[in-house]
A and B are shown apart, each in its own frame.
Chain A
Amino acid sequence: MNVTLLGPQRNVAAARAAVAELMPDGAIATVNAGWRERESDSAELSDVLGGRMRNLELYRRWQQLIAEDAGYADEERTLTLTLNELQSLYTIRLRHAMAALQAVTRRRELPQVAASARDDCIAAIQALDRWHLDAVARARTEFYTRVRLGERATVARHRSEIADQVAGCSGLVVTGGHVGVLLHVLHVFGLARLITEAPHRPLITWSAGAMALSDRVVLFHDHLVPPESAGLELRPAELFAEGLGIYSGVLPFPHARRRLRLDDPDHVRQMAQRFSPRRCLVLLDGVRVDLRDDEPFPAGARWLPAA
């Protein structure tokens, strides 16, 4: 898959330029569902897309689905409760694992001994991350098994309408917002299949959109209050779920300058180590990174250094 990743669109020049280059003509299918109730509040976005936006309205469709199908709504609620509890349990465990890493990192007595302990702390965190991803994937699989999305008439109708809209467009844009909601509606309405079935259709995405389309979604904000007072200086990044998997091997970190302690080399290095072998892409405002099949990563891309 060829995907163009953009940094946050506070300044929309990069998006405007990428759209003009990759999607010079025709309508542009747009997923703006990360903005939830403000999905349709898209005048500025439409302008960036040259007035050619076709809003797929995934959030509105999802809300309609919940309102019209009580059985489906119940299953959604069960899924939400399960995922929230899984995230809470994972966060409790992660907090202690990160506190151990922090304490070990602070010790400077015998560096060669501490390095081994530090590496093992990171391995323990990676194991915890895997446990969480597996548990979330199981919960989602059980949800999809129970609701049988493909067999529900309402879902099929929405999916068909969306497929028709996308088929008539020259490209697809996935914007930012709430990455959890965005990822969920992309799953519900089968966007992964639509995207991969037309691999040459240009795809531009930014911020939460870039995160959702990767193969893993990492939530991060160093400066938020840590969830418990465990002596942690920074809020640990959390695995949220497997992403849509449109591209892999790269974890995008939009707003990195605002949300990450980039000036803390130990912290940055440990984060890169934790998520390896995936590479952590720093997506600053105005940045553009074109990921192309069978091509090395772009030379100008900025990554969190693993060493």
Chain B
Amino acid sequence: MEGTKARRRKLAVNRLRENTTLDDAALRRFFDRHDFPIVEGSSCTFAVRAEADEVFVRHRVLGLPENLPMRRVEHTDLWFAVVELPASSRVEYQFELRRGEVWERFNDPANPRIARSPVGNSSVCFGPGYRVPDWAQYDPEARPGELLELQIRSQAQRRDNRVTLYLPARFRDTARYPLLVVHDGADFLEYASMKTVLDNLIHRLDMAETVVAFTSPGDRLAEYPNSGSHARWIAHELIPELETQFPLLAKPSARCLMGSSFGAVASLSTAVRYPQTFGSLLLQSGSFVFTDVGDDHGEGPAFDPVVKFVNRYRARPTRVAERLFISCGVFEPLIVPNRSMLPVFAETGMTVNYVESRDGHNWESWRDRLRDGLSWIFPGDALFFYE
């Protein structure tokens, strides 16, 4: 009964518009009374006060108009837009306004939720039913692992590479651990809370005690799309060095290479160059752009080597690892190439576990899929524990 009432109830912004006196005080009350964006069932109302000629919601949600125009409530400085979002969606956005010839982009001043990334912050809309996973938040019960800073010489890349190494809580020299190598490691630590996630997943027995090497690129756009020197650094320098220095299981099934976006391309291309070195790959929102005919891929020149690599792989797919965990957000344009890669991977005999989320191409989306991926690749001892 209550649900029926809720469905029939007008949206908050429409109730506001029915007010006869829409003065500054009424608008202030409107913002004071609600969390923004206002989520009412599947409807999300974005709203902002601004003196402007036009205001847009800027987002990267595939399927919605790229620049979502906001409507002005007559005789006020209130702009709004209502969109329908499916359950468990998560959308990063900003507002952009135009005053004459001047454009200005900014986060939603009424929304305290901010997503951080290497290219700046943006506001976040939690659609109906979305919750930040509890395993992605600090848990005082979870015993913390340790982060070590290493400098490892790469002959292939002619430089010293910084590697941040995660050792799980209760690390022992007498044990033997699987190894996870992470591309864009510093960003995964900074923007995807990956240390917290590892601490929690290991504590909760969702994931095996694992040593994790967080690597960072030099020139990312040059190194990540199918670079021989990068692959050599990972497979022939980093892995042997770590397996010499630390008690690792040192076998393919206990090695996983992961990355997101271009980092996923780096993971796959490294595995193609050094097949069966890694038993598993964890590929998030891989930039697997390809063409079926011609070379007009519609992306910038940074994608040229990616397209060349992916086209070649699609023409002659090979079994580079035993298991692939692949995730992608349905709101990102890369959902199409990722879905298209699934049968290509599967036909090689690799076991593919594919997960989609109602999210975009961003760090928190990748964070939110870490449990699915890591607990599948290196499962913890939950099956063995009976209190």
Contacts and interface: CB of A to CB of B under 8 A. Distances in A.
User: Are A and B a genuine interacting pair, yes or no?
Assistant: yes
B19 to A, nearest CB: 50
A227 B387 contact: no
B301 to A, nearest CB: 37
Contacts of B170: 37
A179 interface: yes
Given A63-B174, A66-B174, A77-B176, A227 B384 contact: no
B352 A176 contact: no
A227 B379 contact: yes
A37 B170 CA distance: 8
B94 interface: no
Given A67-B174, A88-B253, A228-B351, A177 B379 contact: no
A9 B384 contact: no
Q: Is the interface of A mostly helix, strand, loop or mixed?
A: mixed
Contacts of B352: 229
A238 B303 CA distance: 46
Given A63-B174, A67-B174, A227-B379, A177 B351 contact: no
A207 interface: yes
B174 A73 contact: yes
Contacts of A73: 174
A10 B387 contact: yes
Interface in B345-381: 351-354, 372, 375-376, 379, 381
A224 B383 contact: yes
Nearest to B174: A66
B382 interface: yes
Interface in A73-106: 73, 77, 80-81, 88
A238 B383 contact: yes
Q: Which of B249, B379, B382, B383 neighbours the largest number of chain A CB atoms within 10 Å of its CB? A: B383
Contacts of B354: 229
A229 B342 CA distance: 13
A221 interface: yes
A89 B376 CA distance: 16
Interface string A149-189: 00000000000000000000000000011111100000000
Interface string B202-217: 0000000000000000
B386 A211 contact: yes
B384 A179 contact: yes
A177 B386 contact: yes
B33 to A, nearest CB: 40
Nearest to A77: B176
B248 to A, nearest CB: 12
A177 B177 CA distance: 21
B148 to A, nearest CB: 21
A208 B385 CA distance: 7
Given A67-B174, A73-B174, A229 B351 contact: yes
A60 B159 CA distance: 44
A77 B379 CA distance: 19
Interface string A214-239: 00000111001101110000010010
A211 B384 CA distance: 11
B65 to A, nearest CB: 35
Contacts of B353: 228-229
A202 interface: no
Contacts of A211: 386
B174 A219 contact: no
A190 interface: no
A8 interface: yes
A238 B379 CA distance: 15
Contact of B387 (A63, A80, A255): A255
Interface of A: 8-10, 37, 63, 66-67, 73, 77, 80-81, 88, 176-181, 207-208, 211, 219-221, 224-225, 227-229, 235, 238, 254-255
Given A66-B174, A207-B386, A208-B384, 11 more contacts: A10-B387, A67-B174, A77-B176, A81-B249, A208-B385, A219-B384, A224-B379, A227-B379, A228-B351, A229-B353, A254-B387
19 contacts: A73-B174, A77-B176, A80-B176, A177-B385, A177-B386, A178-B381, A178-B384, A207-B387, A208-B384, A211-B386, A219-B384, A221-B383, A224-B383, A225-B372, A225-B375, A225-B376, A229-B352, A238-B383, A254-B386
State the 9 A-B residue pairs at the shortest beta-carbon distance, nearest first: A207-B386, A208-B386, A229-B353, A219-B383, A254-B386, A176-B387, A180-B384, A176-B386, A178-B384
